[in-house]
Amino acid sequence: MQVSFACTDHNLKAPRNGDGHGKANATSPNAGSAARARFRTVALIARSLGSFTHRHHISLKESTAKQTGMKYRNLGKSGLRVSCLGLGTWVTFGGQISDEVAERLMTIAYESGVNLFDTAEVYSAGKAEITLGNIIKKKCWRRSSLVITTKLYWGGKAETERGLSRKHIIEGLKGSLQRMQLEYVDVVFANRPDSNTPMEEIVRAMTYVINQGMSMYWGTSRWTAMEIMEAYSVARQFNLIPPVCEQAEYHFFQRDKVEVQLPELYHKIGVGVVSWSPLACGIITGKYDNGIPESSRASMKSYQWLKDKIQSEEGRKQQAKLKELSRIAEKLGCTLPSWPWRKHCHPVDTSSIVFFSFPPSSPAWCLRNEGVSSVLLGTSNPEQLTENLGAIQVLPKMTSDVASDIDHILGNKPHTKKESRS
């Protein structure tokens, strides 16, 4: 326990006279000694309660909520505390699932300690933001207890309704706030870099929306390390506000950016990571092991790219590696997640798949990275969300030995610059 007291000579001056001007009592020559004595008394009380530290020594490390077990980390090296597991609304909210199921998902997440909810203006053509806002209003959750993030780039069909121009950043964020019925978002992300807009214009526009109280912070999504560094340099050059984090894809089969490029930015300029797709669009669940189930995402026409990826030679190799990884997950008492053990069922018949309700290892594997502030979960049913939230239980088991075993099976651990030089 740490207790901080702001004890100064100003706070310990002698009492004011009746005229209120604070003139020292001439009959008290030992007033200074008395003030020092009171300071020592306060210091002794502080030491008895805990360590006596200055306010700027407050720990910024991971903390745990006692009631839910959820862990919280700083968003990059900002002061914003976010749950290490967040809920994403890509595709599902306003799209694949009903508003009732969406409400159940948000309720389960919130009651489990999740405070980070991510959306974007493009998700379901704005319907995801509407659904998110309606749920927050209906549940009457305290706005101060939530961290709401959205992304800007694709806002409409008109030429001026997409991109990262000053016009679209300001108008797009106003539109998002209107759909969500909110006065502000906590973080607004620039979703992918815009080669048509100068970096200075993007940074100035993001600084403007923050200064106007429309957002607390801003970040990037799917930017390269060089582009993030350019934004930071522009911000420092013109006394503007730099980004605090990057949204990046991160899972067993997508590692280079988060493990090699972004750690350097985290240590140098404080840019953290909010990772997404920890299950690689469902590939890591193992449901594509024996083909493409009819009810899966890869069976949809709009996801032909995912189907092609799964059926490719590289996709078959990934499925083989997942079978080996499942044995490590079993030893940890978890899944990859939701590893299905089929009992003599047809490849596309999911009705007889047996799911073991063990917490998943893949989100926990992502969280082992110190630069990852939060992992966004994308689920379409309450059972899957509950299981994925169990990744918090697996995190302590993700030791260096376990991570080394996983690296050995995957065979794709990227080499850092330091390792390359050695």
Q: Which residues are catalytic?
A: 123
> Hey, what's the torsion of the CAs at 173, 179, 182, 185, to 10 degrees?
-40
The residue whose two tokens read 């870099």 is 193
Written as six digits, the tokens of 317 are: 């190799």
How many residues are listed for the chain in this entry? 422
How many whole angstroms separate alpha carbon 280 and alpha carbon 305?
A: 13
Written as six digits, the tokens of 323 are: 């079978």
How many whole angstroms separate alpha carbon 235 and alpha carbon 205?
A: 11
213 by Cβ neighbours in 10 Å (0-12 / 13-18 / 19+) ranks as exposed
Q: In what order do the strands lie in the sheet with 71-74?
A: 63-64, 71-74, 81-83
Cα–Cα nearest to 205, from 227, 230, 229, 172: 172
Looking at residue 287, the DSSP 8-state letter turns out to be T
Q: How many CA atoms lie within 13 A of 262 on its CB side?
A: 28
Parallel/antiparallel/unpaired status of strands 353-355 and 340-342: antiparallel
The residue whose two tokens read 């302590």 is 396
